[in-house]
Amino acid sequence: MAHRMYRLFVKPMGFFLLAMIVVGAIIIIVGETLLAFYQPDFTSELQRPELYVALALAIGVMAVGALVTSRPAGSLGPLDRELAIGGESIFAPEPPPVDVRLRRGEPGTLADIQEGYVLYAQSGPLARVLGILPGEQEYGKRRRGLIYATGMYGASAELWIPIEAVLAVYPETQSVFLAAKGDETEHFGWNLPPESFRRDERRPHQPPSSF
């Protein structure tokens, strides 16, 4: 209940208040800057210095934007990095609770995982399996394999989940349970493809802190 209240009310209000503070600060700074150059003695519009200051600021902002957008990809350092503010809609439906009947039948093995199986985290259904990728060396760690899946209920459209995160498999219900809460896929880096997928020298992300 507390998590639902946070997603539906606290989080939207927090973003709204933060946007108001940022916009208000920009308006105040620009206004105070122009007032500092205001001269009430001038009667001609062409002699008002604050107008030229405002024009110079506008041209400066456009010039900086034009310079940044004209630079080749990979030459801007931190500005080239992807910034994820959030890929899940605030009003996206929450996943239903895990049905205890899904743990029915004899437990299976990792070899039983096939396309169409549903991956479950503690919070509920997380993704649907599309395929299994072989193990590889990544960031100095040897992966046993990766589960390629598509997210459900607002999760990332593509997920590459390490086999090591699998807690249990139930072939009868085509269910795979993960040792994860469900809302930390981006924190673990599961929403990013393996390092070996890239053919250029740019690294899409740093080594994940977990798994």
Which residue, 23, 45, 80, sits at the end of a domain? 80
Same domain assignment for residues 105 and 174: yes
Residue 112 falls inside a structural domain: yes
Same domain assignment for residues 16 and 74: yes
Same domain assignment for residues 35 and 116: no
Which residue, 46, 80, 114, sits at the end of a domain? 80
The most confident of the ranges 52-56, 149-153, 192-196, 207-211 is 149-153
Give the model confidence (pLDDT) of 39-80 as tens digits.
777 667 777 777 888 888 889 889 988 888 888 877 777 777
Q: Is 176 exposed, middle or buried (0-12, 13-18, 19+ CB in 10 A)?
A: buried
Same domain assignment for residues 134 and 181: yes
Residue 88 has a pLDDT of 57
Q: Is 4's pLDDT higher than 80?
A: no
Residue 39 falls inside a structural domain: yes
Q: What is the largest CA-CA distance in the chain?
A: 89
Residue 86 falls inside a structural domain: no
Residue 211 has a pLDDT of 46
Same domain assignment for residues 111 and 184: yes
- Give CA–CA dist 95/132, Å, rounded: 24
Same domain assignment for residues 74 and 111: no
Give the model confidence (pLDDT) of 154-198 as tens digits.
788 889 889 989 989 999 888 999 988 877 788 888 888 877 776
Q: Is 82's pLDDT higher than 80?
A: no
Contacts of 5 by beta carbon, 8 Å cutoff, 6+ apart: none
For residue 149, give the CATH number of its domain.
2.30.30.240
Which residue, 80, 112, 142, sits at the end of a domain? 80
Q: What is the pTM of this model?
A: 0.50
Same domain assignment for residues 68 and 22: yes
Domain extent for 189? 100-197
